[in-house]
Amino acid sequence: MRADLGPAAVDILFVLAGLGVLNAVGVLRGSLSDTAAAVGLAFLAGICFVMTLSIALLTIGVPIRLPIFVALSLSAALLGLLSRPTGRQVFRLHGGSLGELRSRLRRKRLQAWIATVTLCGFGVYAVIGALETRVQPLDAWDAWSIWTRKAEMLFFSGSLPVDFFTSSAYTFMHPDYPILLPLFESVQFRAMGKIDTQAIHLQFWLLLVAFVWAILYLGLRRGTIVVWLPLAVAVSIVPAVWGQLLTAYADIPMALLLSLGVLLLGEWLASRDWRMLALAVLFLVGSANTKNEGLMAAVVALGVAGAVTALGPRRVDLRVLGLAVCAFVAGILPWRIWTESHGIRGDFSVRDGLSPSFLADHAGRVWPSVQSLYSQLVIDTSWLYVVPLGGALALVCLFVQRKRSLAAFYLATGALAFAALVWVYWISATIPLGFYLSTSAYRVVSVLTAVAFAALLQLASPTDDRSELG
């Protein structure tokens, strides 16, 4: 019984912590219907917030076991829900997102049918997927050699044993990789009372379900649910998404968080609503603490957002964005400082990547990397042309005055993220390029898919359909 109820209790704590975060930044409206609609977004926000705090505690020597996790989650929930009046009214059953949805859909019967059919179809898909995860073995290389190995270490020790990360016997597990996902798994294992490498797949599946639920909520608040919900469901059934998700690799969880972060950053650029920026930073920190590619893409997105803001008419917003960047840096620094202080290095040196002579000596790695990444993006049985469609839409929107800056944001973010991936392959000279591309290119392009999906959501929505998010 504990193997089933324990993880459920952990998930509930993540939701409560996330609701506290959403209320603290002023997103919740204080009705039971709105709170129910926000559960998916709250679940992911709770994971990002509590796991980021837990990583910071781990790096200063505080063990993360269930009592600490429960204390962090409940503190985030209570402080967040009590920080604003709406948080003390979440059990009031009155109007809100669901009521607004019903009134909108009554006015538009065709859209009502679209939303209803899409939700019912996704519900069936979510249940079938959950049942499938119960018998999914943990047999993918990186899952048990990198991510779950660290989760097992955290399960047994609760802390960060330096010898484990610095031992030459464990260099194959990439000790420098961010630790949010292993920490998430270890908390679930502790709640189960054992290490169950089959049951953990259900938690990965819930990340995808919560992502679609989060898009549903944001679409409700924005007034674009009939555009956003079908797109979110369509992406959830992309073969590369559900196929890679059930390997228990970190790529898809990172991409889900990154996509939300980039989307909310785009929402801030469009509305200048600081609440969207606050949530964007939270999800970008989560993606950066999940995989190095998430860090790279988050830095690119924030940099491009800064450039778009600086070139726009409201340069005063650069001050707000500067504070957001400081919060982002604070969220990612603990793990980076810990690894650097213990001499834990990655597969390549950034210093080499900035050396003209080094780059010239290994220039032959560039074009094969470009070709490999591009070929992964246009395989119709993998990502279903999400990136080409997002790029084409952004190009079209460059000629639409009210969407020009957003289109430029997504195009520049996607292009620079692609260039950054090529740069990593370029300077990772110690790894044979053919092996490196064959084992990673099909996964790392999830970064580009995350950006393209956010672009599809925001740019495909009618400009005049925007509603106030508060």
**How many beta carbons lie within 10 A of that of residue 458, not counting itself?**
27
Specify the pLDDT at position 467: 39
Overall average pLDDT of the 369-394 stretch = 91
pLDDT band at 98 (very low <50, low <70, confident <90, very high): low
Q: What's the number of domains the chain is made of?
A: 1
- Could you give the C-alpha distances from 89 to 23, 33, 84, 96, 220, in angstroms and in order? 11, 11, 10, 12, 20
pLDDT band at 106 (very low <50, low <70, confident <90, very high): low
CA distance 401 to 420: 29
Q: Is 264's pLDDT higher than 70?
A: yes
pLDDT band at 435 (very low <50, low <70, confident <90, very high): very high
Q: Is 464's pLDDT higher than 60?
A: no
- Could you give the C-alpha distances from 340 to 60, 250, 428, in angstroms and in order? 14, 22, 19
| Long-range contacts of residues 184-188, Cβ cutoff 8 Å, at least 24 apart | 184/47, 184/51, 184/151, 185/147, 185/148, 185/151, 185/154, 186/64, 186/150, 186/151, 186/152, 186/154, 186/155, 187/10, 187/64, 187/66, 187/69, 188/6, 188/7, 188/10
Question: Does the residue 367 lie in any domain?
Answer: no
Question: Does the residue 138 lie in any domain?
Answer: yes
Cβ-proximal residues to 424 (8 Å cutoff; 6+ apart), any chain? 296, 348
Specify the pLDDT at position 103: 59
* Helix/strand/coil percent split, the chain, to 5: 80, 0, 20
Question: Does the residue 369 lie in any domain?
Answer: no
pLDDT band at 172 (very low <50, low <70, confident <90, very high): confident
Per residue in 265-317, pLDDT tens?
Answer: 999 999 999 999 999 999 999 999 999 999 999 999 999 999 999 987 776 68
Q: Is 94's pLDDT higher than 50?
A: no
Specify the pLDDT at position 223: 79
Question: Does the residue 130 lie in any domain?
Answer: yes
Q: Is 88's pLDDT higher than 70?
A: no
Overall average pLDDT of the 165-186 stretch = 92
Q: Is 97's pLDDT higher than 70?
A: no
Confirm if 28 and 34 have CB atoms less than 8 A apart. yes
Overall average pLDDT of the 17-45 stretch = 91
Specify the pLDDT at position 322: 95
Question: Does the residue 208 lie in any domain?
Answer: yes
Specify the pLDDT at position 224: 82
Question: Does the residue 465 lie in any domain?
Answer: no
pLDDT band at 367 (very low <50, low <70, confident <90, very high): very high
> Sign of torsion, CA 29 35 41 45?
positive
Q: How many CA atoms lie within 13 A of 28 on its CB side?
A: 34
Query: Residue 148 sits in which domain range?
Result: 1-249
Element (H, E) at 435: helix 433-444
pLDDT band at 92 (very low <50, low <70, confident <90, very high): very low
Question: Does the residue 447 lie in any domain?
Answer: no
**How many beta carbons lie within 10 A of that of residue 168, not counting itself?**
6
> Sign of torsion, CA 369 372 375 380?
negative
Overall average pLDDT of the 12-38 stretch = 91
CA distance 117 to 98: 17
Lowest mean pLDDT among 76-85, 104-113, 421-430, 453-462: 104-113
The torsion angles phi and psi of 391, rounded to 5 degrees, stand at -65, -40
| Average pLDDT in the chain | 89
Specify the pLDDT at position 6: 92
Per residue in 347-361, pLDDT tens?
Answer: 788 888 899 999 999
Residue 97, amino acid: S
Q: Which residue has the higher pLDDT, 377 or 96?
A: 377
Question: Does the residue 375 lie in any domain?
Answer: no
